[in-house]
Amino acid sequence: MRLGSGMNGQTRLLLLLIFGFLAFAEASSWVTASWPGDCLVNPEQGPRSSNDANQKDCPTFIAGSLILLKRADRVIGRHDKSIVAVFTVVLAVSTIGLWIATLDLFRAGEKQMQLIALKLWPIAKGEMWSGIAVRAMADGEKHPSDSNPTNDGGG
């Protein structure tokens, strides 16, 4: 089995684009790391320039991503119970919304079935009688609707 034989062309293209973007972002961040100006991510810790104590180095793309990941981990660690509570509320609201939508769909389906029964039953009944009449005429019998409507018990 070849490596990546399960991937289609679109998946490969997407992975190539993501990898290309990350490579471009890292390469451009190395070039712009020592430029004057504000950094997107201010490093609290991390490598500093050893040749000039006054020079401010911005972290590269990967280093900045790791700094942001550590910060996100600290925030999640401090607020883990709040995050679970908010997720529970969102899940409950979504469940109620889905329940209401399902109930509305059920009611719409029931209404649709009633409309079908009211509007199509006479048509279907007529087609049914027409089909019986064609078979009866082919067999040399009378159409069932031509029979005597009174019930005299004679079959």
Where are the chain's structural domains? 8-78, 81-146
* Chain segment 137-150, per-residue pLDDT in tens: 666 655 455 555 55
pLDDT at 46 over 80: no
pLDDT at 54 over 90: no
Confidence of residue 17 (pLDDT cuts 50, 70, 90): very high
CA distance 23 to 61: 9
What value does the mean pLDDT take over residues 103-127? 81
pLDDT at 31: 72
* Chain segment 66-78, per-residue pLDDT in tens: 888 898 999 999 9
pLDDT at 86: 95
Percentage with pLDDT > 90 across the chain: 27
CA distance 24 to 4: 24
* Chain segment 73-99, per-residue pLDDT in tens: 999 999 999 999 999 999 999 999 999
Estimate to the nearest angstrom the gap between the alpha carbon of 76 and the chain centroid.
26
pTM of the model: 0.41
